[in-house]
Structure 1
C-alpha cells in the first residue's frame, strides 16, 4: 500500500525530505507559496555530512559540478594576519556551490522519484491529523504532513510547537561577484577566508571558476554597514586588502539578520517540522542547509518502520529522539561561535587561536560536519 506525504515548503530542506520519502516509495506532494522554486541567497557551504546526503539521494553529481573544493578555512584579523588556518582533510570534504544549483539538483531527484510540486500555494496552518491548511481555504490530508516552511513557520505555530524564535543581533549582506585571474595570491589559493575588523566580518567564498560569494556581516544597528546599495567605500576602509573584490560589487544584494528557532518537539501526531522551522541557527558553521537535508533524510528512514498510518506518530518520536541531540549541539556551537564577534580584535584573535588549537573544542565545532547521517553510507576512498 502506497503511503502519502504532503510537504509545506519547496526549499532545500523541503525538497531533500521529499526526495528521501519518494525514494522510499511514498506518494509525495510539495506545496510552495512562490510561483516557482527558487533559492534565497547566493552560495552555500556543503560539508561532508551534507555531501553524503546528496550522494544518497542521487543529487551529488549535479549539485557539485564545477564546485569549489576548498583546502583550508582561514580566519584573519584586522591587520590581515592569519589567526588560524585549518586544513580540510581529504576524508572530510567541504564544497561550495550556488544555492540555485543545489536546489535544482534536489528537484531533479524529486522528479526521478515521482514527487509532485505545486507552486503558488501557501500553507497557513496544519493539524496533527496530517493536514495542511492552504490560503485558498482548502485543506489537504495525507498519512504524513511536514512543515519545512522556514523560520516563520506557520506549521510550527499552528501546532503550538514553538518554544523559541528570536533574531540575533548580527546579520549579513550577501552578494555574488565575478571571479577574475589574480584575485588571490598564490598562498591564498584554495582557501575560504573570513576577515574580522571590529564587529564587521568579510567572508570570501569562491563557488566555481567564475563566481565568488561575498558575505558582509555586522550588527543590525550598524546602519551604515548594512545599507543597500552596499557602501563600498566604508567596507573598503574596514578591509582594504580586499578593495579589488569590494569594488566589483554591483549585482543584487540582500540583508538579513540571523534567526534561532527551537521547538518543544518536532512533531504532533502525524505532522512534523524540519529545517529552520524546527532548528534554525546562525550560519557560522555553514550547517543550516546540511542539518535540514540530514534531518529530512533521517525522517524518511525512521518512517520505514511505520507500516501503518497509526505507526507514524511513534516513528516521528523515535526520529526526533535520535536526531535532536546532534542538531541542537550544532545549533549551540554555531551561536557560541558568533559571540566572538563582540570581543575586541586582539582578544578575539587569542580566543580563536586558543580554541581551535584545542582538540576537544575543534571536535565539538566540526562534530556535525563530520557525522555520518542516518540513511547514508560513508563513501569508499
Structure 2
C-alpha cells in the first residue's frame, strides 16, 4: 500500500489528500488546529483553478457552488471610470466566486474513507535523508510515509527545514476581507450590483456578489487593502478605521462597510516568499517531499492566483504519482513535479508583484501616471495574467 502524509488541512491540503486517496493511496492528513474549518470569506476561481479542481474530482459539483463573476470595471474613489466594464469571455474562460464554506464542504466530502485526519498536530521535525523514508513529527509521534506533501502555508515548518532560503516577508500592505450575508446586504442599483474595483492613493476596495446560494445565505464578498503594516487594534476598531478611510468613496463602498459587523471582518497581513524556494520537490528514501500552495509560492494577492496555483500544484502532483510505486519511479516523479511547477509559479509571481506595484502607487505624480496608463497597463498586465490562467490545462 502506497502511503502519504499531507501536512495542512487548508484548501490545498484537502484537495491533495482527497486526490491521492481516490488513486489508492493511504493518506494521513495532519492539521495543527483542533478542527478543519473554513475561513468565513470567499475565493475567486480563475479558469486554471476551476480546471484543476474538476480534474481532481470530476464529480465534485464545483459548478453548483460557484457563481459567475461579472466584470465591474475599475473606478477612482470619486466614481470616475479608469477602466470601464466589459463582457467576460465565455464560460470556459470566465472566473467565478465561491464561498469558502461551500468549497471546504466539497473538499471534505471528497476525502472519502482513505484519509485519516489527525487534528492538533503541530509539525516540528522533518526527516528527509536520502537513505530513509521521509517523515515528519510533532515531538511525540513520527509520521512516516512514501510521500510527504507540505501544504502547511507560508509559515511552513517543512519548508523551513528543506528550503530555509525562502523567507516570509511583508508585502507592504494590509488587507481586510468580509462577507456580508444576503439578509444584511444593502439593496443596490443595477449599475452597482455587479461589484467592481476601486483604486485610491495606496488604497483598494473590491466587491463581488456571491450568488443567492453561497453558504446558504448569498451575500457580497469584499476585500480592502491599504499600504502599511497590519493594524493591532480590535476588529471593531479596525472596522471603524475602514469606514473612516473609505468614507468619501463612491457607492456601494460605504454601504457595504456599514452593513459589515466586527465579527465578519477578517484582517490579514499580506506576506510573500522572497526568494522562492530553490526546489519544490526533494527526493529521499522511497519517494520524497513536495511543497505546494503557499508553502511553495506565497505571493501578493492582487491577481487572485494563490489558491488557483495551489490547485494546479495538486493536479500536477496527482498526474505524476497517480500510478507509480514507491521506489525509483516515485523519486523521479517528485523531481518531475519540481521541474513542472517552478517555472510556472515564478512567472505568475512576477506578474503579481508588478500588479502590486501598480496598486500601491501613492503621491500625486505617481497617481496621475498610474491613472493615465491604467487603461492600457491593466489590460496588458491582466491580459497576460489572464492568459496564464486561461491557457493552463491539467496534465494528462
Which residue is equivalent to 2:321? 303
Q: Give the C-alpha shift of residue 89 in structure 1.
A: 0.8
Residues 78-128 of structure 1 deviation map (CA, whole Å, 9 limit, x = unaligned)? 2212222343211302111111211111111112x6222211222123221
Name stretches of at least 5 consecutive residues in structure 1 with no aligned partner. Answer: 377-381
Mapped to 1, the partners of 2:141 and 2:256 lie a distance apart of 49
Tell me, yes or no, if the aligned pair for 1:83 and 1:352 is still in contact at 8 Å. yes
Which residue is equivalent to 1:379? none
Q: Secondary structure at the match of 2:176?
A: strand
Mapped to 2, the partners of 1:300 and 1:336 lie a distance apart of 31
Q: TM-score, normalised by structure 1?
A: 0.89
Q: Following superposition of structure 1 onto structure 2, how do residues 1-381 of structure 1 map, counting pairs within 5 Å?
A: 2-40=1-39, 42-58=41-57, 62-84=61-83, 85-90=85-90, 91-111=92-112, 114-128=114-128, 129-179=132-182, 183-189=187-193, 191-209=194-212, 210-221=218-229, 228-242=238-252, 243-250=254-261, 251-261=263-273, 262-269=276-283, 270-304=288-322, 306-343=324-361, 344-358=366-380, 361-375=381-395
Mapped to 2, the partners of 1:61 and 1:87 lie a distance apart of 28
- Number of aligned residue pairs: give it: 371
From the superposition, tell whether residues 69 and 308 of structure 1 become closer, same or farther in structure 2 (CA, over 3 Å). same
Mapped to 1, the partners of 2:230 and 2:205 lie a distance apart of 14
Residues 213-256 of structure 1 deviation map (CA, whole Å, 9 limit, x = unaligned)? 11111023485999524435413424242222111111331221
From the superposition, tell whether residues 263 and 188 of structure 1 become closer, same or farther in structure 2 (CA, over 3 Å). same
Q: Give the C-alpha shift of residue 20 in structure 1.
A: 1.9
From the superposition, tell whether residues 351 and 267 of structure 1 become closer, same or farther in structure 2 (CA, over 3 Å). same
Tell me, yes or no, if the aligned pair for 1:16 and 1:293 is still in contact at 8 Å. yes
Residues 132-159 of structure 1 deviation map (CA, whole Å, 9 limit, x = unaligned)? 4332422111110111100000000122
Q: Give the C-alpha shift of residue 296 in structure 1.
A: 1.1
Q: Give the C-alpha shift of residue 301 in structure 1.
A: 1.0
Mapped to 2, the partners of 1:60 and 1:77 lie a distance apart of 42
From the superposition, tell whether residues 203 and 59 of structure 1 become closer, same or farther in structure 2 (CA, over 3 Å). farther
Mapped to 2, the partners of 1:259 and 1:222 lie a distance apart of 11
Q: TM-score, normalised by structure 2?
A: 0.86
Tell me, yes or no, if the aligned pair for 1:7 and 1:147 is still in contact at 8 Å. yes
Stretch deviating more after TM superposition (218-227 or 89-98): 218-227
Mapped to 2, the partners of 1:130 and 1:86 lie a distance apart of 53
From the superposition, tell whether residues 74 and 56 of structure 1 become closer, same or farther in structure 2 (CA, over 3 Å). same
Mapped to 1, the partners of 2:163 and 2:312 lie a distance apart of 24
Mapped to 1, the partners of 2:204 and 2:36 lie a distance apart of 31
Tell me, yes or no, if the aligned pair for 2:227 and 2:360 is still in contact at 8 Å. no
Mapped to 2, the partners of 1:292 and 1:222 lie a distance apart of 25
Name stretches of at least 5 consecutive residues in structure 2 with no aligned partner. Answer: 213-217
Mapped to 1, the partners of 2:63 and 2:18 lie a distance apart of 17
Q: Secondary structure at the match of 1:292?
A: helix
